[in-house]
Structure 1
């Protein structure tokens, strides 16, 4: 059997069928993630409807330039991951591992900026953490900040998982433990997860930072 092709497993009759089944698994998993964040977006929509003034005033206190910078960071990382997928299909292992490692590094940069933003918000009395001093002008602002903290921290957790996954695949490809292009589908599943995390942030950014 050619090393360029993934081994055919039972009960699949063709490699195309096997690949579709592999991708279906990751799509079902990501669908559950979409439902999770979809619930948060629904809560944000209702909160905005019920407390429009407080929601807008709290959004104005967000560090929009940090949010925009993080958006650009994640968009760039998604571009690198897309390059890695194309390179994996072509069997270019060094390019794949390099792009995945760089995308993971951008993810770390995102978390660094987010940690700096959290620190600034905590200092300004905006983060509703246990025992923290907070200063909210209205219940609407308080509700907004609760939604903001839950949504962004949950996104950061998913991003952290994505960074670990990208680093793992970069190492597997670099060390030849995952051969290419036979392992291109596995690389694509990791990339699909990363793209979803990026897309979630693309929606979080306007909902939280631009609601003004």
Structure 2
């Protein structure tokens, strides 16, 4: 395997560059998935029947906490990749751990939000609006959950093997995934929550 030392470690081999390209293509499919979910939500957002509407359900406090946690995690994952590029294993692992803890905080807040909705009688079966809402938020939450496990696996690998072309590539691709989830959340925050609270 020929390594090009003039490039960052995650791009240092032809295989690594192809893996990054392949992951961008995968993210294109993810964009299509979330675009479909947003389209369904926008179509059904006013179909709440006798159930609660977005205005009745959404509270700014929880949404702001979720948003702060995810946006901060996007910053810390960036710091982790920067630390990796400077060869600092301890700093990289620390920033990745902080990122994953912020992700867990986000999931905890979202689960609490879902439990509150269900307790108030707002279930996935109550209306078209709630069905679309739970599907959109649940799909994003599932992606964050998978991301937490994926990030944990990368941390274990970096701890065992250090920085190699392989581990650096995996960490960088994971950071792209995590940033993608943050971008999706910005759309959820703007077009689901803020629009629903107006």
Under a length normalisation based on structure 1, what TM-score does the superposition of the two structures give?
0.79
3-state SS, counterpart of residue 125 of structure 1: coil
Equivalent of 2:163, from 171, 176, 179?
A: 179
User: 1:53-132 alignment to 2 at 5 Å?
Assistant: 58-60=53-55, 61-129=57-125
Q: Which runs of 5+ in 1 are unaligned?
A: 6-13, 135-141
In 2, Cα distance between equivalents of 1:3 and 1:94: 24
Residues 153 and 202 of structure 1: CA distance in aligned 2, closer, same or farther (over 3 Å):
same
Q: Which runs of 5+ in 2 are unaligned?
A: 6-10
Under a length normalisation based on structure 2, what TM-score does the superposition of the two structures give?
0.84
Instruction: Report the alpha carbon displacement of residue 91 of structure 1 after superposing the two structures with TM.
Output: 1.0
Instruction: Report the alpha carbon displacement of residue 3 of structure 1 after superposing the two structures with TM.
Output: 9.4
The aligned residue for residue 160 of structure 1 is 145
3-state SS, counterpart of residue 121 of structure 2: coil
Residues 3 and 30 of structure 1: CA distance in aligned 2, closer, same or farther (over 3 Å):
closer
The aligned residue for residue 33 of structure 1 is 30
The aligned residue for residue 192 of structure 2 is 208
Instruction: Report the alpha carbon displacement of residue 17 of structure 1 after superposing the two structures with TM.
Output: 4.3
The aligned residue for residue 129 of structure 2 is 144
Instruction: Report the alpha carbon displacement of residue 208 of structure 1 after superposing the two structures with TM.
Output: 1.9
